[in-house]
Amino acid sequence: MRYSIFLVLFIVVCSTSLLSVTLIWKYYHKSINMRTLTLDIRQLMNCPHRPNIIQRELYRVILRSCCNATGEMILTNQNTKLGQKIHYETNQKLFKTVDKNLDSMLPKALPWSKGLLGHCAVEGSGGILQNSSCGAEIDSADFIIRLNLSPVTNSKDVGNKTHLMTINPSQISGYYNLEKVPQLLANRVAAYGNASLLLPAFSYQICTRPSLDVYHALRPLRPNQKVVFFNPNFMLNLGKKWKGQGLKEQRLSSGLILVSVAMELCKEVHIYGFWPFSLDLNHNPFPHHYYDNVGPKKGIHSMPDEFLLLLKLHTQGVLQLHLGRC
């Protein structure tokens, strides 16, 4: 297995009162020694996690200054006006003009724009959640973000409470003729209660129609479940920010996007199911997701790079990464 990733070298000294972690990151092209990598990470995860309020607030300021999830994460009537051109994230030459129909679909404002959320959990759907018994711990959070219609039937490992769920428009292709047969999708999203459903309607032109179809299909059947759309300017700016920090990939994954959102909006952030490798910390194999073994499209995301970025944030005390059993 070959990856183009950041080499991470851990020098870890743990005691009851002190955690000293030095990270040296170098860009390289070589095979990963998974046994060495998992051993280093297992030793690191055995150390007590020390939140760093200064680092946490620094990243909050940085993310708000560049991207402003507080006011710009989703399209609203406050940041998007009738007649305005919405330029697509991946091709700024293409745009959609906000007409009365689209304007009526947008919420008046972001629900979290008035203050910080509390303890947030972002669940990344990785196979490492299998047999983790993390469900109760995830459900104890004040605000829970899940990704890509991930199932919550295995509540022992992943919990079932949800406040925000992302949907990849490609997942809608299996629901034929939503206008006439919306009930199947309505039944599926009912598992998430009244969680808001978040779609990247304006990342690519091909995403627009299925995203708008989801809104129209669910509105009469589930009026209390909001369907909202990512602001493409927010997505573009966030991508530029992390790429400016050395992350090299075509597009950010929805996981890293939502972790970044949580870092700005939440007082503390805990993340689960973020592990891009096929072996766990004890070198046992497991599937890519806790519910299937379908990996990401090649050439779009760089999950190992993103994971090592999250690991760096963990060691800095900005967020807490949970791996293995809870």
DSSP class of residue 142?
S
Helical (H) or strand (E) element with 127: none
Q: Count Cβ neighbours within 10 Å for each residue of 164-199 and write b for 16 or more, e otherwise.
A: bbbbbbebbeebeebeeebeebbeebeebeebbbbb
Q: Which amino acid is at 193?
A: G
Which two structure tokens, joined as six digits, stand for 2? 């070959």
How far apart, in whole angstroms, are the C-alpha atoms of residue 42 and residue 84? 50
DSSP class of residue 230?
B
Residue 21: CB atoms within 10 Å:
18
Which is catalytic among the residues 163, 270, 288, 301?
Answer: 301
Q: Which residue shows structure tokens 């999830």? A: 69
Longest CA–CA span in the chain (Å) reads: 62
234: helix, coil or strand? helix
Q: Is 163 an annotated catalytic residue?
A: no
- Percentages helix, strand, coil for the chain (3-state, rounded to 5) are 35, 20, 45
Active site residue ranges = 301
